[in-house]
Chain A
């Protein structure tokens, strides 16, 4: 593989970060995922995934404004990068191709 490997959870986090454009940070991403997947989502798991994605260059981050709810602490806001978007598109494409190649696509 010529691009960095993405785990299933990392892919979900990356997608969610793209969905929550501009307001994506630990708590919002975790809440969104929790709501959509009805899985137990731990904040620490989300953070590790985000930092890994950043190290791989799929997201970039900056420290955003502090709010009183966080005890005056700043939050780290994540934005998907062009490389991140490309990887997501590639993965989607690959899946579509595989679906299309299936002889009997209705998996009832």
Chain B
């Protein structure tokens, strides 16, 4: 046809042709394409090129009929003019690959089970970790104003010229920020939560409450289901409660206007009901009270040196925070010229949960370190499982060498084999993923109990599926890559002549993998050992204050009014040794002030003193070591303005003989009557700070020391007397011990989790070793037979077989130990009081790994060595 040679001859879309070629039976390709093109030419003449192309595509799509696809699958070439040369993506080839993969899976049940079990364990643990990590990272990220929310932090210069960072600020901060800093849109301050009694009629519950300023609900996304978020905290007698509290007290949530009693006599009217605070919020409260009336009542004369409030700021959009921080640096000093050692800065609210650990004023990690640590552990576990897969697949390559040879002879290229083996690995990974998801679902309740969270797999969330699938895909690709490269490199001639010899480099690579695997396991085991040692050290450390046999109870209601009679009654009761009280947990003192004066104090001195109001017998009850002087006692009426200080305070004030010296604490002058040994005021992560102890008018926490072994009687006495003195309140108590441990909750959790995951790592690694040993014994059946015939003993054969593996484990120990030492050394730096890393920890971990590896391998070795050589040599 003449149109054929014209330069503008229209052609149908090439991709449509390719599509047709892909799914239509190859033997029909020529005639179908011919007919299609002929019709296309006619249609170009009839309708024009554009429409003809559209019609062409539509026609091709209509060729995707079951008839052609079925015919292609069954692949019965009717004519022999063209031998089909299918691509690996050809449905027929895929069918064949699947069939072969399935047969291999079924024929080698032990190996398949080892492989899949390893992958399942690795995947299930990493899935659990990923769920946890995802939850940790989502905390505080739900606030609509999230990116503009900041919290105010203060840096205080210590005597050593270090910077100490605190998140409590003066109550003057928030109003001053709004008034003076144009970039600040709103600012809110609040107190830390404390448990208070809420009473309605005869219903009474203790709930966590905070005092917060009016804009709370406009800054944070805590939606109100009832009430107006703008005005809910305006009225002086208002209260906003959570839905759960509303249901507990009233059985319903539409309770705006009803009244609630807070504590003993503080009657309030509900102005709002807030949705329950989500689990992903770091700020937790059950009810909110307005801050302004509370400040007027309790702190009428505020000072810039008195901290106690958390301050939050909402910045205008597009504010340059770094520039603003530079301006805010001396914010406190501008208001109070004596506060020369205090600087202020804003820190993004969303980052506080994970990143708010400060060293010398600079952000220095925080919880994020654990998140990172566990992400690494998850990767380790998956890697170990992948290595198992690689190792077993290459070790067993001889078994599949013939298949590779035949495939190559009949025309399979290297890329065909590569995609076949990688595909197989991906399939295995998908299968394992399926089992792993089921396993995770089963284990989640336990894991949630451990982590105290409510993690769920969100099956409806496409992101989860994407992550799961990419996890399987990545695992399959990593695990399948080396075996695929290795297997596809076989030369058919050698393979089919049965002269296949594994090259030295392949063997070394495999051994390298085993070493790597065990090094990772060892790292985890040593890490676990050191973490648990440090935790044990903290538990057992002599804090200078005795927390055993001490029970805490809140002083509230009638108890506060009749404290001394109640104390006396307790002292008479059975099981109780000594009774005192303090205004804070003496193991975790938070209140501090710069308002301590003494003779000769330099003007520039801004030392922060921790403060602890107590009652009589405090030193005796908490068994704190007394260096000089005495405890507070009823016998000395002047004690109400006397002080007890710790050694650190004496050192900072430069007092050699502190007893009898004058000291003024926040404007109250008095005399030092006691000097106590330094005890830990706070977490062991920080050093001991100066402390001033004084008699407080009414303290929040009752401290009861029980007779050793008589806790039951003491509790019974306390309950009886508490009911008698304070019938309106439910009896509640905590043990000082438990309180103490709670401070180290995240470390304890890390310890526990690493223990489990290290266990899983070693199990997976040993699964791999077991498989390798099994295979090795199988391979060397003949050799063992010959050796036995020539007189080798069982023990010498076991030693021979196990020795080669032991060497690898020893190399792994050599590699892992220095890395583990370095990593754990870094981790321990976070503690001011810590253990030393000792050689025995490495020896123990190494011994453990050698022992387990030996057990795994020797089982196979012994089995192989015991076989009668007649049997193994006859089977030619």
Contacts and interface: CB of A to CB of B under 8 A. Distances in A.
Interface of A: 25-27, 30-31, 42-45, 47-48, 51-52, 63, 66-71, 73-76
B34 A71 contact: yes
Contacts of A44: 59, 62-63, 65, 68
Given A44-B62, A44-B63, A73-B30, A68 B4 contact: yes
Given A44-B65, A70-B38, 13 more contacts: A27-B39, A27-B42, A30-B39, A42-B62, A44-B62, A44-B68, A45-B62, A51-B71, A52-B67, A68-B4, A69-B1, A70-B33, A74-B34
B558 interface: no
Contacts of B35: 25-27, 43, 47, 70, 75
Interface in B1-49: 1, 4, 28, 30-39, 41-42
Contacts of A68: 1, 4
Contact of A27 (B1, B28, B38, B79): B38
Nearest to A48: B67
Interface SS of A by simple majority: helix
Contacts of B62: 42-45
Nearest to B71: A51
B870 to A, nearest CB: 60
B39 A71 contact: no
A70 B63 contact: no
Interface in B40-75: 41-42, 59, 62-63, 65, 67-68, 71
A43 B39 contact: yes
A69 B37 contact: yes
5 contacts: A48-B68, A68-B1, A69-B1, A69-B38, A73-B34
Nearest to B17: A71
B29 to A, nearest CB: 9
A26 B40 CA distance: 13
B67 to A, nearest CB: 5
A1 B665 CA distance: 112
A48 B67 CA distance: 7
A51 B65 CA distance: 13
Contacts of B32: 26, 47
Contacts of A76: 31
A31 B46 CA distance: 13
Nearest to B4: A68
Contacts of B30: 63, 73-74
A69 B59 CA distance: 18
B203 to A, nearest CB: 76
Contacts of B28: 47, 51
* A-B residue pairs, 4 tightest by C-beta: A73-B34, A26-B35, A70-B34, A76-B31
Nearest to A76: B31
B39 A73 contact: no
A43 B39 CA distance: 9
Contacts of A63: 30-31, 79, 81
A43 B59 contact: yes
Given A69-B1, A69-B41, A43 B31 contact: no
B65 A48 contact: yes
Contacts of A73: 30-31, 33-34, 37
Interface of B: 1, 4, 28, 30-39, 41-42, 59, 62-63, 65, 67-68, 71, 79, 81
B4 A43 contact: no
Among A48, A68, A71, max chain B CB count under 10 A is at A71
A73 B67 CA distance: 23
Contacts of A45: 62
Contacts of A70: 33-35, 37-38
B468 to A, nearest CB: 38
A45 B38 CA distance: 16
A63 B79 CA distance: 10
B74 to A, nearest CB: 12
A44 B35 CA distance: 10
Which residue, B28, B31, B41, B63, has most C-beta atoms of chain A within 10 A? B31
B400 to A, nearest CB: 39
A66 B30 CA distance: 10
Nearest to A73: B34
A31 B35 CA distance: 11
Nearest to A77: B31
B65 A26 contact: no
Contacts of B33: 70-71, 73
A68 B30 CA distance: 14
A51 B67 CA distance: 10
A8 B863 CA distance: 72
A61 B37 CA distance: 20
A49 B826 CA distance: 76
Contacts of A74: 30-31, 34
A31 B39 CA distance: 9
Contacts of B38: 27, 67, 69-70, 75
Nearest to B41: A69
B53 to A, nearest CB: 15
B143 to A, nearest CB: 58
Nearest to B56: A43
A81 to B, nearest CB: 16
Contacts of B68: 44, 48
A19 B570 CA distance: 116
Which of B32, B37, B38 is most buried by chain A, counting CB atoms within 10 A of its CB? B38
Nearest to B67: A48
Contact of B31 (A26, A31, A67): A26
A28 to B, nearest CB: 9
B34 A75 contact: yes
B31 to A, nearest CB: 4
B75 to A, nearest CB: 15
Interface centre among B30, B32, B39 (most CB of A within 10 A): B30
A75 B34 CA distance: 7
A44 B37 CA distance: 13
Contacts of A25: 31, 35
A17 B42 CA distance: 20
A75 B41 contact: no
B39 to A, nearest CB: 5
Contact of A42 (B42, B59, B67, B71): B59
Contacts of A71: 33-34, 37
A31 B67 CA distance: 22
Contacts of B59: 42-44
B715 to A, nearest CB: 86
A42 B63 CA distance: 9
A97 B300 CA distance: 114
B509 to A, nearest CB: 51
B779 to A, nearest CB: 52
A56 to B, nearest CB: 14
Contacts of A43: 35-36, 39, 59, 62-63
A69 B34 CA distance: 8
B187 to A, nearest CB: 71
Contacts of B31: 25-26, 63, 73-76
Nearest to A42: B62
A45 to B, nearest CB: 8
B76 to A, nearest CB: 11
B463 to A, nearest CB: 40
A78 to B, nearest CB: 11
Nearest to A71: B37
Contacts of A27: 35, 38-39, 42
A74 B68 CA distance: 19
A73 B79 CA distance: 16
A49 to B, nearest CB: 10
Contacts of B67: 48, 51-52
A68 B6 CA distance: 13
Contacts of A30: 39
Contacts of B63: 43-44, 47
A66 B4 CA distance: 14
A82 B1 CA distance: 36
A45 B1 CA distance: 28
Contacts of B71: 51
Contacts of B39: 27, 30, 43
